[in-house]
Structure 1
Amino acid sequence: MLYNYSNDQFSFSFDSAIGEAVMVNSFKDFFSVLEPLLRRVVNEEVERGLRQYYKFQSLTRSLPLCFQALESSSLKLTFSEELSLPIFTGRKITDIENNPLQIVVVETRSSGRITPANLSQPIKILMVVLDWDFPSGDHDDWSQEEFESNIVKERIGKQPLLTGDVNVTIRNGVAPVEDIEFTDNSSWIRSRKFKISAKVAQGNYHGVRICEAITEAFVVKDHRGELYKKHHPQMLEDEVWRLEKIGRSGTFYKKLTASGIKTVQDFLKMSIVEPQKLRRILGTGMSEKMWEATIKHARTCIMGNKLYIFRGPNSIIFLNPICQVVRATINGQTFLTRDLPNLNGYIGNLVREAYSNWHSLEVVEGVSNALLTQGTYI
């Protein structure tokens, strides 16, 4: 088939082809210009979304713990007992019962009751040191940033302040801290005092926030000062300067040792048998308040299970290590502790005689006071 085109028809077809080509090229140019614009817009929207996310995360972290919406369970760490003081560098830190520290998770309910929190998953805990005045006031609504900013780091060139079990794991709500100690004293910071805190280690727990445990403030002394440490409780053989208000090489110590009172046992024996003489030895420099503090401390002494037997004419008395009568046999009749006040005069003379001859008394071990006071002696 033959086609005949006029000049007008040919001109129209050529113009259309040229137009289509220009349009295609224009679209190519348009998209080449549009592509970087679209990329920039997308990038800006992604960045804006990320900024909003991190802003929300930062706001959540900075809220006080008790107001964070996802942390309303009021879970908190706490130390089961107070610390045993004083604390020395290089010496294991224990609780007031001389047991290893123990961290527990508790839940404070709205009623004010505190109950153990039984968490199913193990939680890693980090032990840190805080400055003495954190938190300020009587509240525990600090933010995460406030807590972290009050962590005390070691001095330049020194070991970490705490060594030993600084990383422990809570299982079933409890974590023992078997061995932990300070490597440096607290004299170099303004307050001269530290606190120990237990916090949840980052990255291993994703539940509701658990508030940090914080001890009371305390001084950490150099271990060389332990030579002068007062013992709580006392031992009978401790030197007498270990008692409260009696300083090593001080006036009271010199007066006591000059009178033959060298140990806590010596001090306690005289306080029972001749309290007025003991008071005169110490002199007026020891006030009544100081005297009471010294006596109270001395009476925390661990007695042990030794008994001392004094045999007199028609009598036998059994004394504990500080010269207190726990049983007496007079003319074949046995008197227990409850009966002794009726024999004050007679028993008093026997006790003074026993005290004067203390080193010649018969000593027995392994007999408890309970057996004696019950009238049983084997």
Structure 2
Amino acid sequence: MSPKRLFCETEPCLEQPFEKKRPRLTFASIIGDVVMVNSQNHLLKALEPLLRRVVNEEVDRCLLRYSRLLPRASSLRIQALEPSSFLLYFVNNLPSTIFTGSKITDVESQPLRIAVEAGADNPAFQVYSAMKIEIVVLDGDFASGDKQDWTAEEFNASIVKERSGKRPLLHGEMNITLRDRAATIGDIEFTDNSSWIRSRKFRLGARIVDWSDSDKNRPRIREAITEPFVVKDHRGELYKKHYPPMLHDEVWRLEKIGKEGVFHKKLSNYNIKTVQEFLKLFTIDPQKLRRILGVGMSERMWKATVKHAKTCELGNKVYMFRAPNVLLILNPICEVVRAMIDDQIYSSPDLPNIPREYLNNLSRQAFDNWHSLQDFEGNFREPPLITQGNEEASDHIIRKSLFRSCELMREEVEFRDWNSNSDQFISTPNFHYNYG
């Protein structure tokens, strides 16, 4: 007997679709959807003018650049590079970073100079010995790579203008006169940083302007350009490093130590606030200085900081430390440069003859009592050798001179001590010794 087939009362069960349950709408979900839609609308309305402005600026810049590349001739033909026997060039180099509002100078803080490269015997040169030159700002990517030549149109197309609503990029004396093949650029400064262009860098350029009609057949003088550099806002100058650092500079002027940063605070906790105090501790106990900075300063950063600190100019000031039968002369970073021990004089070449541990112990005592040391102005050059052929006589002269100098210093300090303890004030002249 065959089984009975089951049927639904209306339609077959297999053809009846399953209805999905709709999520239940709540008042909170409805409010959330409305807020999300409104937020998106507000965001789009806020972004629309910004996007329009950016697109318009880029389109205008591209159109301006390519329109300048079109030849001025009615034939609209593309001109080839014009041969040039004259080249403008910047005599000195600019620093890699320049700050807005500061006078633009070279790496040695000297005024910029510009000149023409041409043979002195060139007869055409006298005609163009007095020329008007304009200083302009170029994109840092201009003439990048191995490109050594360009057309005047390419140069002009790379000139960077100020941003919309901003002051002109350069302020000051942008037009100068070239006389006798050279000229000095006066006071010019940037008014805006370079972070808003794609290359993030500028170049300075110089070109000839104001040619008369009689100079139509003149040879082309190629424009001058500098190396690319970064322009930062003036407030960044307050945090810049010093090259070289000075002894009295705050310690954050050293590389890898930021102002109010972690390393700066660690050093301040140990009363290391200046470059001099940094170098003094490095001389006496470099391991302790390394521990103070901690593991956050990598070995590479540590070497960079120490290398920068060692470029510091020490000057001529020296310090005198006295102990029983000992007199040490130290430089500003606590390095021993002269010593007198038991009436035996040790000049710089003789210091290795003193036991290292003994000398280090004396140096540490001087370091611990630094504020009680007497300081003097001294030039520690070895006295000249009078007798070139007699080394013993020369050595005797050197030691005698050093001994007498140390004796004079000791007598002066003793006189000062006696004078300070007496009831009567006695005026003494300024103390100054030159060795050598």
Residue deviations 1:204-242, cap 9 Å, x none?
A: 694432222222222211111111111112111111111
State the secondary structure of the residue aligned to 2:222. coil
How is 1:220-259 mapped onto 2 (pairs within 5 angstroms)?
A: 220-259=231-270
Number of the residue aligned with 2:192: 184
Measure the CA separation in 2 of the matches of 1:89 and 1:310: 47
Residue deviations 1:47-75, cap 9 Å, x none?
A: xxxxxxx7399879x4324xx2xx2x2x3
Number of the residue aligned with 2:280: 269
Which residue type is aligned with residue 367 of structure 2? Y
Matched, 1:288 2:299: yes
Measure the CA separation in 1 of the matches of 2:345 and 2:76: 79
Number of the residue aligned with 1:43: none
State the secondary structure of the residue aligned to 1:94. coil
What is the CA-CA distance between 1:137 and the residue it aligns to? 2.8
Number of the residue aligned with 1:99: 110
| Residue 145 to residue 357, structure 1, CA distance change in 2 (3 Å) | same
Number of the residue aligned with 2:178: 170
Residue deviations 1:255-281, cap 9 Å, x none?
A: 111111111111111111111111111
Number of the residue aligned with 2:374: 362
Please report the RMSD computed on the Cα atoms of aligned residues, expressed in angstroms: 2.8
Measure the CA separation in 2 of the matches of 1:250 and 1:170: 48
**If you compute each CA radius of gyration, which structure gives the higher value, 1 or 2?**
1
Matched, 1:349 2:366: no
Number of the residue aligned with 2:73: 55
Gaps (5+ residues) in structure 1? 1-53, 110-114
What is the CA-CA distance between 1:364 and the residue it aligns to? 1.4
State the secondary structure of the residue aligned to 2:301. helix
Q: Please, what TM-score do these two structures have when normalized by structure 2?
A: 0.65
| Residue 277 to residue 122, structure 1, CA distance change in 2 (3 Å) | same
The question of whether the paired residues in 1 share the 8 Å contact of 2:88 and 2:222 is answered with yes
Q: May I ask how many residue pairs the two structures share in their alignment?
A: 311
Measure the CA separation in 2 of the matches of 1:57 and 1:122: 34
Number of the residue aligned with 1:32: none
How is 1:132-147 mapped onto 2 (pairs within 5 angstroms)?
A: 132-147=140-155
Measure the CA separation in 1 of the matches of 2:180 and 2:340: 57
Q: Which moved more, 1:297-306 or 1:248-257?
A: 297-306
Measure the CA separation in 1 of the matches of 2:170 and 2:121: 27
The question of whether the paired residues in 2 share the 8 Å contact of 1:116 and 1:173 is answered with no
Measure the CA separation in 1 of the matches of 2:348 and 2:121: 44
How is 1:63-74 mapped onto 2 (pairs within 5 angstroms)?
A: 63-65=80-82, 68=83, 71=84, 73=85
State the secondary structure of the residue aligned to 1:185. coil
Which residue type is aligned with residue 173 of structure 1? R
State the secondary structure of the residue aligned to 1:125. strand
What is the CA-CA distance between 1:117 and the residue it aligns to? 9.3
State the secondary structure of the residue aligned to 1:302. coil
| Residue 164 to residue 239, structure 1, CA distance change in 2 (3 Å) | same
The question of whether the paired residues in 1 share the 8 Å contact of 2:95 and 2:229 is answered with no
What is the CA-CA distance between 1:247 and the residue it aligns to? 1.2
Which residue type is aligned with residue 346 of structure 1? Y
Number of the residue aligned with 1:23: none
The question of whether the paired residues in 2 share the 8 Å contact of 1:122 and 1:170 is answered with yes
Measure the CA separation in 2 of the matches of 1:308 and 1:201: 60
Question: Which of 131, 144, 169 matches 1:161?
Answer: 169
How is 1:27-66 mapped onto 2 (pairs within 5 angstroms)?
A: 55=73, 62-65=79-82
State the secondary structure of the residue aligned to 2:221. coil
Question: Which of 156, 159, 164 matches 1:151?
Answer: 159
Number of the residue aligned with 2:101: 90
The question of whether the paired residues in 1 share the 8 Å contact of 2:96 and 2:228 is answered with no
Number of the residue aligned with 1:331: 342
| Residue 330 to residue 128, structure 1, CA distance change in 2 (3 Å) | same
